[in-house]
Every structure is written in structure tokens, then in C-alpha cells.
Amino acid sequence: MKRVLSRVIAGTRGVFLLCGLGTLMAVSIGTATGLLSGYVGGFVDEVIMRITDMFLSFPPLLLALVISAVLGPSLTNSMIAIAIAWWPWYTRLARGQVVSLKERPFVEAARATGVKNFWIMFQHILPNSLTPIVVQASLDFGSVILTAASLSFLGLGAQPPTPEWGLMLSIGRYYFLDHWYLATFPGLAILATVLAFNLMSDGLREALSPKLRRV
């Protein structure tokens, strides 16, 4: 039992590294494409939005499963699959923020003083668009952990002998009747981590939203 607990603790680093980098990649790609789409508009906006709609037509878990199956089972490929499955949501969110901000007086003032569009996007619009993106990323982190565990559970993520929660849960289910702790400890780790991030995201949303603080 102590050995199982040690593997669960050791797997924490891999889970946070995988999900953190996957979420960061998704946020970076989605924010950049949403910023470009919302600010430039026109043909560029149409192309990016149609590609985004194509990706959004698939559930994130299903899309991550397909990508992991194509790329092959590994933690690196799972991270790539998670980033590809989640970036369209941030593109939509970032585009909506940019569209609502690009006609504001402070942006018009920047244009009037001769500031280039590149600097307007990254110095004036992007900083004012980050709050809902950060909140959404914190909300999605629990779902990303579940997706990563699901990929490993199905054999498309981490491979033995890597101490990863989903993989440990997959192996432990075969011995559950005789050694219940093999599957229980990884399952509890997933449950506790996802619950903790969901609670943290709720608190972060309230802290960053003045309207929620006044309610």
C-alpha cells in the first residue's frame, strides 16, 4: 500500500506538468488566433472562425482520443492532443473580448496618436482581455486532468511503468477485488485534484469579477 501511495504522489508531477503545458499551449494558440480574428476581421475572421467551428463540432474528449490514437500513445502526444482539442474555445472567447474592445475610446485614441496595430493589439487590447481567459483556463483545468487520465486509462497516454493516475487506475481495476487500494488511491487523487481546481476557479472568478463581488 505504501508503494502505491508513493506512486500516486510521484504521479502528481507528471499530471500537473502534462495538464499545465497542454492548457498553456491551448490558451496561447486560442488567444493569438482570437486576437487576430477579432481585430483584423473580414476574410481573416471568416477563415479562422470556420476552422474553429470545425474543431468545435467535436467533443474535446473525442477529439483528443482521435489525435492521440493517430500520434501514438505517450505523454507528449497526450499534451499535444489536449492543446488541439481545447484551443478553439479560447479562440471564441478571445475574439468576443477583442470585438467588444477594439472600438473603445482608449483604442481609438491609440490609433489617433499613430500607434501601430500590432502594439494596439498586444499593449492595449490583450491585457484587457485576459481576465475571462484566465478564469476559463482555471475552469478547464479540472476537465483537462480528467481527459489526460481518460487517455491513459484507455492506453493512449502514459505507458508502464510511468506513475500516472489514469494508467494506475486502469491497471488497478483488474485487481480491485483482492487489492482495492490499487485503483482507489489514484481515483481519489483524481477526484480531490479536480474538485480542488473547480473550487479554486470559482473563487478566482469571484475575485476577478467586480459584479460577482457585489452580489
Among 56-65, 81-90, 206-215, which stretch is predicted with the lowest mean pLDDT?
A: 206-215
Q: What average pLDDT is seen over the chain?
A: 87
**Contact residues for 77 (Cβ-Cβ < 8 A; gap 6+):** 67, 68, 71
* pLDDT surpassing 50 at residue 214: no
The vertex-186 CA angle with 183 and 188, nearest 5°, equals: 100
**C-alpha cell belonging to residue 75:** 505523454
Q: What is the predicted pLDDT for the residue at 215?
A: 44
Helix (H, G, I), strand (E, B) or coil at 180: coil
Q: Could you tell me which of 147, 135, 156 has the C-alpha nearest to residue 198?
A: 135
Q: Could you tell me which of 155, 138, 114, 136 has the C-alpha nearest to residue 199?
A: 138
Q: What is the pLDDT of residues 22-38, one digit of tens each?
A: 999 999 999 999 999 99
pLDDT bin (cut points 50, 70, 90) of residue 209 is low
What domains, with CATH codes, occur in the chain? 2-209 (1.10.3720.10)
